[in-house]
Amino acid sequence: MNYQEYLLSPQWQAKREMALSLACWRCQVCNTENDLNVHHRTYDRLGHEYQADLVVLCRRCHGLFHEATKPVPPTEFDLKRRRRRAMEIAAGLDSDRENYGLSWILQHGQLSSEKWGQILELFSEALHGVSHD
């Protein structure tokens, strides 16, 4: 069942009613009784939500929440910091290669898959200005 179908299900309607009732049929931000929505704070347990996963918001506050949580593009400072960190990692790799030799590093597993992932992520962020934070 997809998300839209779930929102129409009796199971969701019961959880929605419970959330509204627990919030006394008021927005939990501005306290209005008008145009109420039940917002998922997390989708990790979709279909098996805890009441703490849900928050009652009016349409206005719900819209403000979604507007405020849109990803913000990285600043030039962020990009410079990421490039600098990527270059520090690259310099460390270069140093390891000179000290041990690349084949020794690969053979002895000095570079974990986690470290390779961090390196690739940093370089990707530095090149494309995209953060995975």
Mean of per-residue pLDDT scores for the chain: 78
Interval 65-84 mean pLDDT: 77
The CATH class given to the 3-68 domain equals alpha beta
Domain range list for the chain: 3-68, 76-128
Q: How many CA atoms lie less than 13 Å away from 12 in the CB half-sphere? A: 16
What is the pLDDT at residue 106? 55
Structure-derived torsion over alpha carbons of residues 39, 73, 129, 110, reported in degrees to the nearest 10 = -50
pLDDT digits (tens, 9 = 90+) for 114-130: 666 666 666 666 655 55
Structure-token pair, residue 58? 């009016």
Cα–Cα distance, 43 to 67 (Å, whole number): 18
Alpha carbon of 95 to those of 89, 105, 119: distances in Å? 10, 11, 15
**Would you say the pTM of this structure is higher than 0.85?**
no
* Residue 113 host element (H or E): helix 113-128
